[in-house]
Amino acid sequence: MELTLRRIAYRDSYTIGHLYVNGQYFCDTIEDVVRDNNRDGDLDDPGEEKVFSKTAIPQGRYVVVVNKSPRFKRLLPLLLNVKDFEGIRIHNGIDENSSSGCIIVGENKEVGKVTNGRVYMNKLTDLIITAQRKNEKVIIQIS
């Protein structure tokens, strides 16, 4: 299963994107600020320092699994091996303040916010669980 997150709007305090599942549009996303200014997949260059809980993960390809989140006490998608980040999940929320580096899913019908996130989070989690049961590798490409 291939997930693709295309970041489309870079703002001062948040980033809006479109999430696709196997090439089909799925929902909108909101994340923290992208600080990977040259889009090379790391935060190692001058001016790209990570700000704790206020930085989107660098673009790249990451394996995704569903497991129980200690924080949310439920099954949620988890991105593996994100350099300089831990516990990056895909979950519901309202705005970048819900993120802490995570990808928040929903509908971007209001400036700087997403709504109906629980619906999309549940659908996406179910799709990934189904793929895992079939021993399919789940990858997210962020660009």
pTM confidence score: 0.95
State which residues form the domain around 37: 2-142
Q: For position 59, what pLDDT does the model report?
A: 94
Q: How far is it, in rounded angstroms, from Cα 138 to Cα 14?
A: 26
Q: Are 20 and 3 in contact (CB under 8 A)?
A: yes
The pair of three-digit structure tokens given for residue 60, joined into one six-digit string? 């790249």
pLDDT at residue 11 tops 90: yes
The 10s digit of each residue's pLDDT in 45-67 is 998 889 999 999 999 999 999 99
- How many domains is the chain built from? 1
Q: What is the pLDDT of residue 74?
A: 94
Give me the DSSP letters along 81-142.
Answer: --TT----BEE--SSGGGTTTPEEEEEEEETTEEE-HHHHHHHHHHHHHHHHHTT---EEEE
In whole angstroms, how large is the CA radius of gyration of the chain? Answer: 14
